[in-house]
Amino acid sequence: MKIISYNVNGIRAALKKGFLDWLKKTNCDVICLQEIKANKDQFDLDQFSEIGYDYHYWFSAQKKGYSGVAILSKHKPINIEYGTGIDHMDFEGRNLRIDFENLSVMSLYLPSGTNIKRLDYKFKYMKEFKDYISDLKTNISNLVICGDYNICHEAIDIHDPIRNAKVSGFLPWEREWLSEFINLGFIDSFRELNKEPHKYSWWSYRANSRANNKGWRIDYNLVSENLRAKIKSSSILDQVFHSDHCPIVVELKL
């Protein structure tokens, strides 16, 4: 199964930039989207079915034009879970999960800490989400959590770890949380197979950051530990340009 995660920074904007043609060529089984910034009545849903994604699920934020996640699949799931049941998370449309017989896939959009108020909220979300997943894993053993975590885990994951040490997304306690989260029983599928530096998934629109590869790796496909032997490949598609993020891919031999 080929699974892609992609923060599209607005699905309507991405569609205008050729997202649909690109998606058709990828031939992935499942794609998890983040930051869709739209309600599903604001664009044509049939266009996804026309290229093979008959099963598509959208979980928008209550605030229009903000946040939101989606999952598109070529295969019919046996269950769809909108949100976590935790109101403050679900108001912002940050979690969506589909379950197959032998695998569950979640699209996650973890908040950013753009200011003190949002940083406080980010920490609240992180704590409660970690507890939620800890409970969820007692019932779902094969879980892939795809998404924008808004955290660089290690120094290798950011272009300038020294200057960014006090910036949200690379704060010590954010990085510690991600380590603890992974230690619940997950594998960073990209780092499992790729140890080289300068591999990023997000670049600021400022200062020609992408052209100079001054990026951050904040998007992850985290895979349950018991699927380790089934990870066939994991990659970052940094030559795809619909967004300030790029897609990331994991392939599992199921």
- So what's the pLDDT on residue 182? 98
Domains of the chain by residue range: 2-252
Average pLDDT, the chain: 97
Is 231 in contact with 192 (CB distance < 8 Å)?
Answer: yes
- Among 29, 44, 148, 188, the active-site one is 148
Q: Token match 């990331």: residue?
A: 248
Tens digits of residue pLDDT in 128-140: 999 999 999 999 9
Cα–Cα distance, 250 to 234 (Å, whole number): 4
3-state secondary structure (DSSP) of residue 225: helix
CATH topology for 2-252? Deoxyribonuclease I; Chain A (3.60.10)
- Kindly give, in sequence order, each residue whose CB lies less than 8 Å from that of residue 244, ignoring residues fewer than 6 positions away: 7, 9, 202, 203, 204, 205, 210
| Residue 148 annotated in active site | yes
Tens digits of residue pLDDT in 76-108: 999 999 999 999 999 999 999 999 999 999 999
pLDDT category, 202, cuts 50, 70, 90? Answer: very high
Tens digits of residue pLDDT in 140-194: 999 999 999 999 999 999 999 999 999 999 999 999 999 999 999 999 999 999 9
